[in-house]
């Protein structure tokens, strides 16, 4: 949960941080309240959606559907961010400029809607993923991981905006993308398992429900996949660091 909220949180907080920085540097300090209100609105909407989805996901058929939707969102998010990471600051600045050039309330409303839409897009993804995980883990560990991930994300976003090149954002997105691809694979397995429990698939649901039990989050092979979610990205990060040092040495 920490890794999920860290990845999603950094995208949300970066949008807010870059928007606020751009408005300050362009002399539009009066529009900063639109960023604050837009962020609060988007977070509230995401929390409400996440709470509702967690309640809905009591039945196996809904657990299967939400896990599948979350897997699709994770994969599309990875593809989008790997393409957009290099130009994130420029793209946000261009869109904000288009919203802020209006006069009076139009400018405030334009910035507000921009922040709401951008942050809610990431928040809704977090809500779907959170709902798909909620019934698979201990509540205390779940909440602790979520809080820790969001706190780290806020700190990283602030560091990146303040100190610029000290944070290798491109490497961050690459490493967490490895984690998310493995995580999406786990969600697909979980979705299939829950679908067989609800007798939704045109096959021998009872057989496949038993056959996929070891691959679930608490199964023998599912536990191994959970370890790989941490070990593979960590190995990727170590390899990237070693590669950078060798290049510098040359």
Token couple for 96: 């904000």
Residues in contact with 160: Cβ distance below 8 Å, sequence separation at least 6, in sequence order: 14, 17, 166, 167, 169
Does this model's pTM top 0.75? no
pLDDT at 237: 79
Token couple for 32: 């900063």
Query: Residue ranges per domain, the chain?
Result: 2-245
pLDDT at 164: 58
Q: Quote the CA–CA distance of 74 and 67 in Å, as a whole number.
A: 10
Q: Is the dihedral of CA 77, 147, 131, 92 positive or negative?
A: negative
pLDDT along the chain (250 residues), means of 10: 77 77 77 86 82 69 75 75 65 72 76 82 74 67 82 77 63 75 80 82 85 76 76 82 82
Token couple for 208: 């496949």
pLDDT at 247: 83
pLDDT at 169: 63
Q: Quote the CA–CA distance of 77 and 187 in Å, as a whole number.
A: 15
Q: Cα 56–57–61 angle (5° rounding)?
A: 110
Residue 126: closest CA among 79, 183, 85: 183
Q: Quote the CA–CA distance of 203 and 201 in Å, as a whole number.
A: 6
């Amino acid at each position: 949960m920490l890794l999920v909220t860290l990845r999603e949180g950094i995208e949300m907080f970066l949008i807010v941080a870059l928007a606020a920085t751009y408005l300050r540097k362009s002399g539009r300090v009066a529009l900063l309240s639109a960023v604050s209100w837009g962020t609060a609105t988007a977070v509230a909407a995401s929390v409400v959606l996440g709470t509702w989805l967690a309640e809905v996901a009591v039945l196996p058929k809904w657990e299967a559907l939400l896990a599948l939707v979350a897997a699709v969102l994770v994969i599309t998010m990875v593809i989008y961010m790997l393409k957009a990471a290099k130009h994130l600051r420029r793209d946000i600045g261009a869109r904000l400029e288009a919203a802020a050039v209006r006069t009076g309330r139009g400018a405030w409303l334009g910035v507000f809607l921009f922040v709401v839409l951008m942050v809610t897009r990431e928040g809704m993804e977090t809500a779907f993923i959170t709902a798909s995980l909620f019934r698979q883990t201990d509540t205390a560990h779940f909440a602790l991981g979520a809080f820790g991930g969001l706190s780290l994300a806020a700190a990283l976003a602030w560091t990146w905006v303040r100190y610029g090149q000290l944070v290798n954002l491109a490497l961050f997105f690459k490493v967490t993308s490895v984690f998310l691809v493995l995580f999406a694979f786990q969600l697909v397995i979980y979705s299939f398992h829950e679908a067989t429990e609800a007798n939704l698939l045109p096959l021998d649901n009872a057989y496949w429900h038993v056959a996929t039990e070891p691959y679930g989050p608490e199964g023998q092979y599912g536990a191994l996949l959970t370890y790989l979610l941490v070990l593979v990205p960590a190995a990727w990060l170590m390899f990237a660091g070693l590669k950078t040092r060798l290049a510098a040495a040359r």
